[in-house]
């Protein structure tokens, strides 16, 4: 998971997307009615705005996570992306092809050939073996049985279910059933995989296992993934970038370190308050400008190294560590900067502001930089 920002040719581009439930929903979009409170809007029109003018892009091979509390509109959003729910307004483009404008035939084609979906309730066919469940999408595409079984067999190994081809879903644990769901989505070799809270029903250990599985699969097959969750830790673990939603609208889109290091508002700040910052923030967030008197013979590290992973090198060094990218010296890191982040995780009392004018990460405010070291 190395991609951190959208490329010029995104796999998915969402532009001004709205979903309003209720009668004559399109009269709400972009008017002052949409600014009414939820209750007022319901009383006056019988409508509810579930997705509010949402725009974002997902780069090819990116893992893009949509996160928000229950009712914030995540499921509605992801269903609009494949038109399982009909958007009220806006565009959803795949390689430039707007799915909102697609006729029924084109829509079917897109769904069969481009998308894979993994939901919380696995939706497995109970009377079919694991192998046949995994091959189901290929069957719908009209792929012959021998080829289906060959491909399903490959995917079976990929999702860690070797030896379970002939089992039936009810003979498997929840985690294993979700592996079948994952396998079924992967078997058709989709361009984009959509996950709608796929692991919410699993117990925490299995859930972690499955998250690792997604990370591993992403490394192996390198798919574009859109992942919905209400769990911040899941979002931070999986996402190249995270979109945070509230009341149907986008509150922030950023890399995990940006969301944790520079939360857009109090809503996000609350979300990330308990995140161990050294596990998420990169060296970029704690380095300071180079001073003329700095010795330049210390060790060298990259700016995107996670603070926790850099701690050993920095704390063992006898000179300040140089932060270098593409041969360019970006800044320096001292023991202090590392310790401030780590100590702040144990001790949430206000700590002193940085003494050395440490450079906060890209786009951060002074307040954000202080929040990083002294939450
Ligand atoms: N078919 C529908 N008709 C009317 N309102 C709906 C419909 N589906 C969802 N909503 C409302 O839209 C809002 C967003 O719901 P949605 O399920 O997308 O949120 P969510 O963030 O996915 O929540 P959860 O995590 O609980 O599933 C909620 O207020 C919900 O009650």
Q: How far apart are CA 23 and CA 48, in angstroms?
A: 10
Contact 114, 193 (CB under 8 A): no
Residues 58-92 have pLDDT tens digits of 999 999 999 999 999 999 999 999 999 999 999 99
Q: Which atom of ligand 1 is nearest to the CA of 196?
A: 22
Least confident of 109-118, 137-146, 337-346: 337-346
Q: Residues lining ligand 1, judged by CB closer than 6 Å?
A: 21, 48, 50, 68, 70-76, 230
The pLDDT assigned to 205 comes to 85
ipTM above 0.85, yes or no: yes
User: What burial letters (b/e) apply to 80-95, b meaning 16+ CB within 10 Å?
Assistant: bbbeebebbbbebbbe
| Widest pairwise Cα distance in the chain | 73
- Please give the distance, rounded to the nearest whole angstrom, from the Cα atom of residue 85 to the centre of ligand 1: 11
- Mean predicted confidence (pLDDT) in 27-48: 93
Q: Residue 375 above 80 pLDDT?
A: no
Q: Which atom of ligand 1 is nearest to the CA of 69?
A: 21
The pLDDT assigned to 337 comes to 87
Categorize the per-residue pLDDT at 333 as very low, low, confident or very high, splitting at 50, 70 and 90.
very high
Q: Minimal CA–CA distance to 179: which of 164, 197, 159, 199?
A: 159
- Please give the distance, rounded to the nearest whole angstrom, from the Cα atom of residue 247 to the centre of ligand 1: 10
- Please give the distance, rounded to the nearest whole angstrom, from the Cα atom of residue 191 to the centre of ligand 1: 27
The pLDDT assigned to 222 comes to 87
Residues 347-374 have pLDDT tens digits of 554 444 444 444 444 434 333 333 333 3
Q: Which atom of ligand 1 is nearest to the CA of 248?
A: 14
Domains by residue range for the chain, with CATH:
59-86+100-272 (3.40.50.300), 277-373 (3.10.580)
The pLDDT assigned to 209 comes to 87
* Measured torsion, CA atoms of residues 56, 252, 301, 223, in degrees rounded to the nearest 10: -40
Best of 20, 49, 50, 230 to mutate for ligand 1, by most ligand atoms within 8 A of CB? 50
Q: Specify the residue with its C-alpha closest to ligand 1, atom 17.
A: 75
pTM for the model: 0.85
Q: How far apart are CA 102 and CA 110, in angstroms?
A: 9
Q: Which atom of ligand 1 is nearest to the CA of 79?
A: 18
Instruction: For the chain, give the mean pLDDT.
Output: 87
The pLDDT assigned to 96 comes to 84
Q: Specify the residue with its C-alpha closest to ligand 1, atom 3.
A: 21
DSSP state of 180: H
Q: Minimal CA–CA distance to 303: which of 331, 267, 269, 279?
A: 331
- Please give the distance, rounded to the nearest whole angstrom, from the Cα atom of residue 155 to the centre of ligand 1: 33
């Amino acid at each position: 998971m190395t991609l951190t920002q959208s490329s010029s040719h995104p796999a998915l581009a969402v532009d001004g997307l709205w979903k309003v439930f209720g009668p004559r929903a399109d009269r709400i979009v972009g008017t002052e009615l949409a600014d009414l409170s939820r209750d007022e809007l319901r009383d006056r029109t019988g409508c509810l705005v579930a997705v509010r003018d949402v725009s974002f892009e997902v780069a090819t091979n990116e893992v893009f996570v949509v996160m928000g509390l229950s009712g914030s509109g995540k499921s509605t959003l992801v269903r609009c992306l494949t038109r399982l729910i009909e958007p009220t307004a806006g565009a959803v483009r795949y390689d430039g092809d707007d799915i909102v404008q697609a006729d029924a035939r084109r829509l079917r084609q897109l769904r069969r050939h481009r998308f894979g979906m993994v939901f919380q309730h696995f939706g497995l066919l109970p009377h079919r073996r694991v192998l046949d469940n995994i091959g189901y999408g290929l069957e719908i595409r009209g792929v012959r049985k021998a080829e289906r079984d060959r491909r399903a067999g490959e995917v079976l190994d990929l999702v860690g279910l070797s030896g379970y081809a002939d089992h039936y879903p009810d003979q498997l644990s929840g985690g294993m059933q979700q592996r079948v769901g994952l396998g079924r989505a992967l078997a058709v070799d989709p361009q984009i995989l959509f996950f709608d809270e796929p692991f919410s029903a699993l117990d925490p250990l299995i859930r972690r296992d499955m998250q690792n599985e997604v990370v591993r699969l992403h490394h192996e097959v390198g798919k574009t993934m859109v992942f919905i969750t209400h769990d911040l830790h899941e979002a931070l673990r999986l996402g190249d970038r995270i979109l945070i939603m509230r009341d149907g609208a986008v509150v922030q889109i950023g890399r995990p370190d940006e969301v944790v290091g520079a939360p857009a508002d109090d809503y996000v700040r609350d979300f990330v308050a308990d995140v161990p910052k050294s596990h998420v923030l990169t060296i970029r967030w704690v380095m300071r400008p180079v001073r003329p008197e700095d010795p330049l013979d210390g060790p060298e590290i990259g700016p995107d190294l996670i603070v926790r992973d850099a701690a050993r090198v920095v704390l063992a060094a006898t000179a300040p560590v140089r932060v270098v990218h593409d041969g360019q010296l970006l800044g320096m890191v001292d023991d202090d900067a590392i310790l401030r982040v780590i100590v702040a995780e144990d001790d949430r009392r206000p700590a002193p502001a940085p003494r050395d004018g440490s450079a906060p990460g890209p786009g951060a405010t002074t307040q954000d930089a202080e929040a990083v070291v002294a939450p």
